[in-house]
């Protein structure tokens, strides 16, 4: 049984199941997820598209739907009694489902370990009581879970396999009709409607200021697959002659950029794996920001900085995410070659820490072990 509550989890679960089918022919899967899981051959009993949320406000609005989904999945796991429940991220929901599954005698693997090292570290003990094994995607997470005697394996980050351009930079410049002799700046406003509405106008204002400093500058706006054209078009001016909107082959586009303005989240790691200097921006609702300030106990929100354990990329969050501040940081990247080169070098170190790929294969091998062996033997492998 595989359970994912958001788009990224749906993708991870689908890739895992496809690899499981290769390693363990005849394996059957069912659970909660979306289109990617269905395409992979998983029997999706509950569609997760209606319960994906961001921020406290979104959680409050979707709470009745989330409660309904949780009750359905709790009943399902005890009725079907799968050989293994694989919880893919979606932490609070999956914690409650895992607790219910353990009460029904079902083994639990949690993939993408909750970020207790960032906030609410006291909850790790509760997870340890309901999870048989943690599969984590960052190497520094292993000693954290080991300190609480929770069986844990670093399987690798899924992006280490995925983030690769399909063509050379020169070929991409030609295909996108970009002038490599001029500064090129990428704009990544996020994949959710709320964050795009808050961030894209600020990013475009910063672009306007950069046009004044760098004549001939060009911009590439990367539109996530989950974002409708109307969400982007409604926030842009009728005419943006130096703006290319890219919907596919995003890694080909990002490699063309001399600098990137990106929202916080997975996109920061994608840019980092391509070695492109960036500035991280983010805005949430005032309530979400206030709660975050009270609970988060690490100094960074950008994944490259968290993995590095130090600031290597500027973070402009909430009230600091202004057009002037963003334009100043991008301007420094474009005009100071040593600054940009040093940032790229540090981003390449982040890439090295994530390993050389093969994470899904290692995760599938762990799953096969948990399916085939008694739990006490599985945890020793």
State how many domains the chain has. 2
Q: Is residue 317 part of a domain?
A: yes
Per-residue burial over 100-111, b if 16 or more Cβ lie within 10 Å, else e, is: bbbeeebbbbbb
Work out the average pLDDT over 92-108.
Answer: 95
- 140 shares its domain with 9: yes
Q: Is residue 161 part of a domain?
A: no
pLDDT for position 265? 85
Residue-wise pLDDT for 108-153, tens only, equals 999 998 776 555 666 788 889 999 999 999 888 899 899 989 999 9
Gap between the Cα atoms of 10 and 17, Å rounded:
11
In this structure, what CATH number is given to the domain that contains residue 117?
Answer: 3.40.50.2000
Which H helix or E strand runs over 87?
Answer: strand 85-88
Q: Is residue 272 part of a domain?
A: yes
- Range of the structural domain that residue 199 is part of: 167-353
Gap between the Cα atoms of 176 and 186, Å rounded:
13
Q: Is residue 181 part of a domain?
A: yes
pLDDT for position 376? 46
* In contact, 33 and 42? CB cutoff 8 Å: yes
Tell me the Ramachandran region of residue 210: left when phi exceeds 0, alpha when psi lies from -120 to 50, beta otherwise: alpha
Q: What pTM, to 2 d.p., does this model score?
A: 0.79
- 126 shares its domain with 185: no
- 18 shares its domain with 138: yes
What is the greatest pairwise CA distance in the chain?
Answer: 66
What is the distance between the terminal CA atoms of the chain, rounded to a whole angstrom?
Answer: 22
Residue-wise pLDDT for 280-328, tens only, equals 999 877 777 776 666 666 678 899 999 998 999 999 999 999 999 999 9
Gap between the Cα atoms of 321 and 203, Å rounded:
9
Residue 95 CB partners (closer than 8 Å, separation 6+): 87, 114, 126, 127, 130
- 41 shares its domain with 151: yes
Provide the residue count of the chain: 381
């Amino acid at each position: 049984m595989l359970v994912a509550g958001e788009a990224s989890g749906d993708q991870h679960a689908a890739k895992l199941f496809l690899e499981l089918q290769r390693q363990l022919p005849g394996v059957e899967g069912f659970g909660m997820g979306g289109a990617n899981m269905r395409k992979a051959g998983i029997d999706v009993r509950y569609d997760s598209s209606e319960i994906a949320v961001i921020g406290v406000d979104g959680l409050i609005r979707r709470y009745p739907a989330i409660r309904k989904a949780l009750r359905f999945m709790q009943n399902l796991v005890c009725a079907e009694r799968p050989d293994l429940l694989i919880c893919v991220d979606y932490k609070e929901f999956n914690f409650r489902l895992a607790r219910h599954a353990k009460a029904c005698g079902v083994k639990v693997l949690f993939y993408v370990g909750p970020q207790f090292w960032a906030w609410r570290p006291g909850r790790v003990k509760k997870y340890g009581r309901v999870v048989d094994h943690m599969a984590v995607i960052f190497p520094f997470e292993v000693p954290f879970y080991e300190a609480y005697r929770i069986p844990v394996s670093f399987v690798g980050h899924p992006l280490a396999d995925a983030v690769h351009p399909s063509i050379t930079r020169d070929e991409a410049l030609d295909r996108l009709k970009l002038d490599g002799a001029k500064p090129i700046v990428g704009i990544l406003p996020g994949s959710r409607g709320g964050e795009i509405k808050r961030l894209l106008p600020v990013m475009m204002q910063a672009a306007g200021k950069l046009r004044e400093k760098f004549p001939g500058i060009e911009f590439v706006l990367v539109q996530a697959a989950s974002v409708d054209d109307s969400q982007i078009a409604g926030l842009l001016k009728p005419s943006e002659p130096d703006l290319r909107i890219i919907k596919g082959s995003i890694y080909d586009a990002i490699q063309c950029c001399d600098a990137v303005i990106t929202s916080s989240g997975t996109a920061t790691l994608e840019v980092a794996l391509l070695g492109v200097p960036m500035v991280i921006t983010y805005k949430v609702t005032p309530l979400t920001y206030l709660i975050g300030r009270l609970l988060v106990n690490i100094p960074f929100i950008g994944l490259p900085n968290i993995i590095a354990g130090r600031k290597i990329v500027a973070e402009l969050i909430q009230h600091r995410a202004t057009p002037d501040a963003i334009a100043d940081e991008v301007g420094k990247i474009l005009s100071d070659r040593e600054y940009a080169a040093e940032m790229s070098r540090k981003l390449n170190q982040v890439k090295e820490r994530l390993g050389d790929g093969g994470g899904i294969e290692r995760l599938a091998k762990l799953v096969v072990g948990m399916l085939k062996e008694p739990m006490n033997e599985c945890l020793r492998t």
